[in-house]
Amino acid sequence: MELDELFFNALMEDADLVLAVGGRIESTCFEVSPDEQDNTPLPCIIVTDDGLSNQPTDKDIEWEAGEDRVQASVEVDAKDPKQVKQLIRMVRKAISNYITSLYEKGEEIPCLQSVQTNGVAWDWMKPCYHSTITYQCDVQNDL
Amino acid sequence: MGTIKGQNLRVMVGGKCIAMATSCTFHVSAQLEDSSTKDSVGDFQEQEVTGLSWDAQTESLVTLEDNGSNGELPQDLLSLMINKTKVTLTFDTTAGTNNRVGQNSVIKKTGEAYITDMSVQAANRQNSTLSVQFTGTGPLS
């Protein structure tokens, strides 16, 4: 499963989070148009795929390595900064709980390398307050 | 001018590459003895080669399975070291399947060696790495 799909599932499984955003959890992997993104009522959450990088790690590899470094983000839009921060915290918890449950079931999980947010900012185009949390993970690619 | 990329120069033990190797060093050195005399010209010393020695070092990622690629695994190398086994070491260019097939190129050198040092480094969230030192005994051919 792709990292952004995994995060989308994690967020959708958290009933408190779904309730807090009125069910408005979208993902670019399900073809949300920019127009839809802009016109979604607040608060809302959008999961995005931020691409990958792959480097051959050893001499046995003739082409790509068996592991990708993948990035996916969760953007939170809300009317006030406090709500953005509360939702970011809920997003972190939902993803953490979901990954932990996968691990406990013995399923393969991504190897987390870093998590970062860019702080709450004002988007005068929408307008809304927003913040994005970005996860960078190593994932087996089964090529 | 074509150069040889690092992935195409490998150290092999008994004809098998080190599994998941990332780097290798092949080193030959000469021991010198100062043969300067009062007849030597100027300030420069004169030297005489009294012996030659060689060694090799490999760096690789730690893996427990060869995944069918038939490479030397860390546990095999450790057994060779503990059993003080003399190994046939080859340094050669490679190509082909999984870059493991020696080409018998003009650069190829073979000799016997002991494994004299092994260390594993395991940093958090990074691939574990293995470093192995081989010290040559006897001639290179």
| 3-state SS record for chain A | CCHHHHHHHHHHCCHHHHHHCCCCEEEHHHCCCHHHHHHCCCCEEEEEEEEEECCCCCCCCCCCCCEEEEEEEEEEEECCHHHHHHHHHHHHHHHHHHHHHHHHCCCCCCEEEEEEECCCEEECCCCEEEEEEEEEEEEECCC
Nearest CB to B100 within list A57, A60, A112: A60
pLDDT at A70 over 90: yes
Q: Cα dist. B46→B34, B37, B39, B49 in Å?
A: 6, 8, 10, 10
Cβ B20–A111 below 8 Å, yes or no? no
- What domain range is B60 assigned to? 8-31+50-137
In this prediction, residue A97 carries a pLDDT of 97
In this prediction, residue A30 carries a pLDDT of 60
pLDDT at A37 over 70: no
In this prediction, residue A62 carries a pLDDT of 84
Per-residue pLDDT, averaged over B87-113, amounts to: 91
- Residue whose token pair is 């939170």: A76
Cβ A60–B6 below 8 Å, yes or no? no
Nearest to B130 by CA among B17, B8, B19: B19
Interface residue A60 vs chain B (CB under 8 A) = yes
Nearest to B87 by CA among B11, B24, B31: B11
In this prediction, residue A25 carries a pLDDT of 93
Mean pLDDT of chain B: 93
Is beta strand B109-121 parallel, antiparallel or unpaired with respect to B87-95? antiparallel
Q: Is residue B36 part of a domain?
A: no
Cβ B7–A59 below 8 Å, yes or no? yes
Which domain CATH number covers B74?
2.40.30
Residue B31 confidence class, pLDDT cut points 50, 70, 90: very high
In this structure, are residues A43 and A72 in contact, taking their beta carbons and an 8 Å threshold? no
ipTM of the complex: 0.84
In this prediction, residue A27 carries a pLDDT of 86
pLDDT at A124 over 80: yes
Per-residue pLDDT, averaged over A131-135, amounts to: 97
Per-residue pLDDT, averaged over B7-30, amounts to: 95
- What domain range is A97 assigned to? 3-140
Q: Is residue B23 part of a domain?
A: yes
Interface residue A115 vs chain B (CB under 8 A) = no
Q: Is residue B3 part of a domain?
A: no
Residue A137: how many CB atoms within 10 A of its CB? 21
Tally of domains within chain B = 1
Q: Is residue B100 part of a domain?
A: yes
Cβ A58–B21 below 8 Å, yes or no? yes
All residues of chain B having their beta carbon less than 8 Å from the beta carbon of residue A114 are: none
Residue of B nearest to A60 (CA): B98
All residues of chain B having their beta carbon less than 8 Å from the beta carbon of residue A60 are: 17, 19-21, 69, 71, 98-100
Interface residue B22 vs chain A (CB under 8 A) = yes
Per-residue pLDDT, averaged over A64-75, amounts to: 94
CA distance B81 to chain A (A): 23
A77 vs A142, residue with greater confidence: A77
Q: Is residue B131 part of a domain?
A: yes
| Cross-strand bridge partners of residue A15 | none
Q: Is residue B41 part of a domain?
A: no
Is beta strand B47-61 parallel, antiparallel or unpaired with respect to B16-17? unpaired
Which domain CATH number covers A75?
3.30.70.1700
Cβ B22–A57 below 8 Å, yes or no? yes
Condensed to tens digits (0 to 9), the pLDDT of residues A85-116 reads 999 999 999 999 999 999 999 999 999 999 99
Cβ B20–A58 below 8 Å, yes or no? yes
- Tell me the Cα Rg of chain A: 16
Q: Which residue out of B4, B5, B7 would a mutagenesis test of the A interface target, given it has the greatest number of A Cβ atoms within 10 Å?
A: B7
pLDDT at B11 over 90: yes
Tally of domains within chain A = 1
Per-residue pLDDT, averaged over A33-40, amounts to: 70
Q: Is residue B2 part of a domain?
A: no
Residue B133: how many CB atoms within 10 A of its CB? 17
Nearest CB to B98 within list A60, A112, A113: A60
pLDDT at B43 over 70: yes
Nearest to B69 by CA among A58, A143, A53, A67: A58
Interface residue A100 vs chain B (CB under 8 A) = no
Give the A:B interface size as CB pairs under 8 Å: 35
